[in-house]
Amino acid sequence: MVATSATSSFFHVPSSSSLDTNGKGNRVGSTNFAGLNSTPSSGRMKVKPNAQAPPKINGKKANLPGSVEISKADNETSQPAHAPRTFINQLPDWSMLLAAITTIFLAAEKQWMMLDWKPRRSDMIMDPFGLGRIVQDGLVFRQNFSIRSYEIGADRSASIETVMNHLQETALNHVKSAGLLENGFGSTPEMFKKNLIWVVARMQVVVDKYPTWGDVVEVDTWVSQSGKNGMRRDWLVRDCNTGEIVTRASSLWVMMNKLTRRLSKIPEEVRGEIEPYFVNSDPVIAEDSRKLTKLDDKTADYVRSGLTPRWSDLDVNQHVNNVKYIGWILESTPAGMLESQKLKSMTLEYRRGCGRDSVLQSLTAVSGCDVGNLGTAGEVECQHLLRLQDGAEVVRGRTEWSSKTGATTWDTTTS
């Protein structure tokens, strides 16, 4: 009986006209409780057939077929029973709202998965955003760089300026990650108080392979003590795909007062800041002790005059960026050498800086081959000088070149 009563609210129950009026002929399983009646004098409730609770849609009463009214016996005239207006009854249908929100989130999740933002290569998983990180007990800084299309030259490989920019970027990011970068270009807090800056005095670079567009390189850098008032910074550049070392570089840095433009000893307060980061290691490149030749108009084979810095060539100290000097040195290198030879090593000595109003000359002397046969030459060595118009030296340099015939460049299909 209880099961039949519960089922009657979901399935149609036959009306009383389909039953025997004398109560005979009722079959098992067809019992109908709709025949329960009460007289008004009895003071009990009068229930009409197929009684149901008044249905509501969005808090409002809906007249549906088969709906019934409940009246009290003390009122001879039956009146429709209205549910009291409450806050709950006036709320919207939350199930529909939740269903809509769920649909939106599922659609958004599908679109997000279709983006497939995950890095496809292991070299990008290590440093996916190229921000760098401290490794090896906090003494070495490591950063990945992807070679961009605007960083390659006519020979489809990265330029020497691109390589040098990577070295400079990791050096500054190393100081920043160590928490020593103050309001200056690589200055520590104590250096900033004393108006001191680092300046590079000497740089040696050896390039075994040049990356090409789309390749990823991993750059490691660290610092070591050099004498009483110097600091050495070394770099190792690897092919992220093979782990092979492709570039090595070593540099010597000294301290200068940016107001007086004079070299300075390292104050004890500054030494206390930087000594915990010194690595006790040998240079990655054996020092080239050969003296760099001073060129003049008579000894130079090529001269390029009228070189002036652009605003974008200046660093935050209002001096020409060190990498720009390399570009100026190559301005006087013969075009035939740039087309047929690749730069494999470079040694630079920085004598002085220059500002945005400077006008410079670039001088180059070629040795080891006939100047007229650069296209067929094997190993070539060049001497360089970058000077101001008044003759003051800015940079002395020596470069070594090898033939591009059979030269090794990276295969992008394996990267």
Hey, which residues are catalytic here?
Answer: 317, 319, 354
Taking the CA atoms of 189, 190, 191 and 194 in sequence, report the sign of the dihedral they define: positive
β-pairing verdict for 230-239 and 216-226 = antiparallel
Name the CA dihedral angle for 305, 309, 313, 319, rounded to a multiple of 10 degrees.
110
DSSP H or E run through 188: none
Helix H or strand E segment including 395: strand 393-403
For residue 397, list its beta bridge partners. 348, 384
Helix H or strand E segment including 410: none
Backbone angles phi, psi at 33, to 5 degrees: -85, 5
Residue 314 β-bridge partners: 320
The distance of Cα 12 from the centroid of its chain, to the nearest Å, equals 66
**Nearest alpha carbon to residue 382 among 310, 334, 350:** 334
Q: C-alpha distances in angstroms, 95 versus 61, 100, 106, 325?
A: 18, 9, 16, 70
Residues paired with 152 in a beta bridge = 158
Output the CA–CA distances (angstroms, integers) from residue 275 to 55, 122, 139, 172, 230, in the order listed. Answer: 81, 34, 11, 17, 12
For 167, residues 6+ apart whose C-beta sits below 8 A from its C-beta are 205, 219, 221, 235, 237, 249
